[in-house]
Amino acid sequence: MDKTVGKIFCAIIALWCLPCYAGIVLRALDIAGQPLEHIAPGELFQVEVTIEGGGVSAQQRPEIKGAEHCYIRNAGLMVTTINGDTTIKHKYRARFDTAGVFTLGPALISRNGSLESSNSVSVRVTDQLAAATRPARAASSGSGAFLRFSTDKERVVVGEKIKCLVRFYYAEDVTNLAPITRNELPGFSFVNDVETSRGSEEISGKSYNYVDFSWDMVPTVAGKRVIPAYHTDYFVRSKQDAFINHLSLFFGHGGEKKKVYSNASTIMVDELPPYKGPVHAIGNYTHFNAYMNPGVAKEGEGMVLTLEIEGEGNLATTHNAVNVQLPESFKYYDSKNYVVDPKNGGPSKHCFEFIVQGLQKGNFEIPPQSFNFFDIKNRQYKTLQTLPSTVTILPSPNMLTIIPQMPSETETKPTSTAVDVSADIRALHSGAWYAEQERALPLWLLLLLALVPVLVLMVPVVRNIQWPSRIVSDPVRRKKIALKTARNELKIAGKVGNGKQIYTMFINFFAASWDLPLHQITHDSITHKLQELGYDKNELEQWHQFFNQLSENAFFNTQTKPGATNILIQYAAGWLDRFEKKI
């Protein structure tokens, strides 16, 4: 008995020590965290995989079967441990882009070498979500705001314009709303930018303010196209503390940030039926007119042809230019395109202008111009035509009678088409038929000859430059230069007839020859130097007399006899010759 009770007690303790119920659970919830009932294509929802018990690493992600049918993204991980029990919660955000009933799960993980699986959940994705259910859901989730996406058509053809509208309803105190992000949609091209407007609407007896985001787009690919849900963020003023709310307004948006998603939408895009010929537009067009202004012009003069198309459609977006039909002798050029919006709210007019030139004189009929378009109301092709008109081209005296051929890009040789002789250009020249080589001096010779007078002018200047270093270093050269300078000065003195300069000339000569300063050249020093050079007494006496005469002539205001200066100069020249031999 005791043994049995003991065994039961041990079993109870062992059971109690064993880890609590270890399992894996998969759940699908809406964005608000409520159990998911049904969802629209493109609308985001949450997927949670809860793993209880140990033996599983938090890094190990469970594999969810059926996730390949949806767009799923990891949204976080939460790990809690209570009394040694670890619970790991993997969170995901997912979205189904097509309608239907989908099965998510089971989620599979590996624990202690064995594979464990969770339950599966069924997700019902509906095409459209009734507007009435949205406010109820918004109210039940406590947000008070919701987003609705709608289009003006559910079935279109390729190229037909669709008006899209995203309306943000709000009943609470929204402080800020982020603009709708219009992502690129494969198979659609956007026509214009997003336009916004405001208003209010009553839904299920409750008044809502709204902000509209609208734009136009055009499908480019046929088939069933799903436009996923749009989303936006908005801020709601918190009710907790008004004072803090007011303060927080200074630092940012103020309040609690929330996210809201719209419904998705499905559009059926049909191919255009086949048509022989060019299709210029898709839409609803009523009138097509053509005007030529002026109706009478001279040859070569420009006229303006205006094609006016009234109606709505994708004419502005299409690159198919309207084909212009004109007589052969007319040339036309694209000028400009513009849209005229009527002030009273009627259909707009698309205008295409062309510059037209008539190259031949005469009366010409401008044939009817055709405009082919696909009528979206009646779902068939229609053609609008203008009325024919008449244009008169008057002769112009300056125009050639035959159309001249304009040279093509590659044409370099003349064609055989002759034109009437124009008297405008000058006549032929009959000169030499061969290129004569122009006779001219070579450039180097020209420059050399140009330098000759410059050199001739520069030579005396260069010669008169006394190079101090050379004079000092070479005594013989110094003496020669001194002698030459003295003779030049004597010559000048002779020409001028000034005998007073001869004294100065000799002083400079002796100073330069003996390399002495001027103040050391005196009568005695000259005599002494001449004695050293070997001049005898007679010569020294002669020099003494001559030098005295020079001094008197230079420093005293004596009236010299005519011819006396010449005699002095002759004596001075003689003395210079003597000095040349000995000095």
Partner 1 sequence: MKIFGVLFLTIFSFFSVYATQETFLRAHKCYECKDFKQAHELYAAIGNKSAATWYNMGNCCFQLGNYVDAVACWHHAQRGASGAVVEDIAYNIDIAEQKLGLEKQDQSIWTRISMHLKKRMNGFSLLMLQILFLLTWFALFFFIKKRKRGKKYRSLIIGILLMINVFFVLGLTLKYYDALQQKGVVMKQQNQIFAGPNEQYHVVGTLPIASCVKIIEQRGSWCKIKYSQDAGWVKSETLTIV
Nearer to partner 1, 240 or 417 (CB): 417
Q: Binders of partner 1 among 412-441, rule CB under 8 A? A: 412, 414-419, 421-422, 424-426, 428-436, 438-441
Question: What is the nearest approach in angstroms of partner 1 to the Cβ of residue 424?
Answer: 5
Task: For residue 249, state whether it binds partner 1 (rule: CB under 8 A).
Answer: no
Q: Tell me: does residue 461 bind partner 1 (CB under 8 A).
A: no
Backbone angles phi, psi at 204, to 5 degrees: 50, 45
- Closer residue to partner 1 (CB): 20 or 449: 449
User: Of the candidates 443, 461, 465, 476, which one interacts with partner 1 according to CB under 8 A?
Assistant: 443
Contact region with partner 1 (CB under 8 A), list: 109-117, 167-175, 211-219, 411-419? 411-419
Stretch of 44-52, 242-250, 449-457, 514-522 lying at the interface with partner 1 (CB under 8 A): 449-457
| DSSP symbols for 142-172 | T--EEEEEEES-SEEETT--EEEEEEEEE-S
Q: How far is the CB of 445 from partner 1 (least distance, A)?
A: 9
Give the residue with the Cβ less far from partner 1, 5 or 452: 452
Burial 256-291 (b: 16+ CB within 10 A, else e): eebebbbbbbbbebeeeeeeeeeebbbbbbeebebe
Cis peptide bond prior to 294, omega within 30° of 0: yes
Residue 151 burial (CB < 10 Å; 0-12/13-18/19+)?
A: middle
Kindly state the number of chain residues that form the binding site for partner 1, as judged by CB under 8 A: 40
- Compute the distance between CA of residue 335 and CA of residue 6 in angstroms, rounded to an integer: 106
Q: Which stretch binds partner 1 (CB under 8 A): 63-71, 453-461, 465-473, 534-542?
A: 453-461
Judge contact between 200 and 210, C-beta under 8 A.
yes
Cα atoms in the Cβ-side hemisphere of radius 13 Å centred on 24: 22
Rg (CA), the chain: 57
Q: Does 447 bind partner 1 (CB under 8 A)?
A: no
Is residue 463 near partner 1 by the rule CB under 8 A?
A: no
Q: Which is nearer to partner 1, 18 or 461 (CB)?
A: 461
Distance separating alpha carbons of residues 220 and 363, to the nearest angstrom? 45
Among positions 469-498, residues that touch partner 1 (CB under 8 A) are none
Contact 361, 266 (CB under 8 A): no
* Among positions 199, 252, 362, 404, the unique one binding partner 1 when judged by CB under 8 A: 404
Residue 454 binds partner 1, judged by CB under 8 A: yes
In angstroms, rounded to a whole number, what is the distance separating the alpha carbons of residues 368 and 385?
6
| CA 391 – CA 362 distance, rounded (Å) | 8
| Touching partner 1, residues 102-121 (CB under 8 A) | none
Between residues 344 and 408, which has the closer beta carbon with respect to partner 1?
A: 408
Binding mask 356-395 for partner 1 (x = CB under 8 A): ----------------------------------------
Neighbours of 490 (CB within 10 A): 21
Nearest one of 473, 491, 493 to 550, comparing CA atoms: 493
> Rule CB under 8 A: which residues touch partner 1?
404-407, 409, 411-412, 414-419, 421-422, 424-426, 428-436, 438-441, 443, 446, 449-450, 452-454, 456-457
